[in-house]
Amino acid sequence: MKVYQHLTQLIERSEHATPDQYAEELRDIEYLLPSGNGFDLGCTIHVDNSKPNRIRISTSYHHLSHRGYYTGWTHHSVIIIPTLTGGFDLYVTGPNGPHNVKGHIADMFDTALSAIVSYK
């Protein structure tokens, strides 16, 4: 099963349960999402603002100058929409910032969400 498929199932089950019942599994998925290398604050899955057909994750990106100095942050939402063809569409909100950061964020999330993992 792919990460986004498991996340979709968790969001669907959480609609009929208390938040605590799936909190640990959601944290486990958050650890699979981009972190470090600019994603220095990690990612947060927003269960309250998600549905099985639209999942919202927030992240921030820490930008570097061409000399290697940190120049600031941009804050983004990543919207995942599972499709009928077995994949997903991914949208990144927020400022593009320097160096097409939204494209980079989309690539990193596409890789993380497409990874195949096994869950019990």
Three-state SS string over the chain comes to CEHHHHHHHHHHHHCCCCHHHHHHHHHHHHHHCCCECCECCCEEECHHHCECCEEEEEEEEEEECCCCCEEEEEEEEEEEEECCCCCEEEEECCCCCCCCHHHHHHHHHHHHHHCECCCC
**Is the pLDDT assigned to residue 66 strictly greater than 80?**
yes
Inside any domain, residue 48: yes
Q: Which of 61, 56, 64 is nearest to 74 (CA)?
A: 61
Q: Which of 105, 12, 19 is nearest to 4 (CA)?
A: 12
- Mean pLDDT, to the nearest integer, of 5-34? 86
Inside any domain, residue 71: yes
Inside any domain, residue 109: yes
Inside any domain, residue 62: yes
**Is the pLDDT assigned to residue 120 strictly greater than 60?**
no
Inside any domain, residue 119: no
Inside any domain, residue 120: no
Q: How many domains does one find in the chain?
A: 1
pTM of structure:
0.91
Inside any domain, residue 57: yes
Inside any domain, residue 81: yes
For all residues of the chain together, what is the average pLDDT? Answer: 90
Give the model confidence (pLDDT) of 35-53 as tens digits: 998 999 999 999 889 998 9
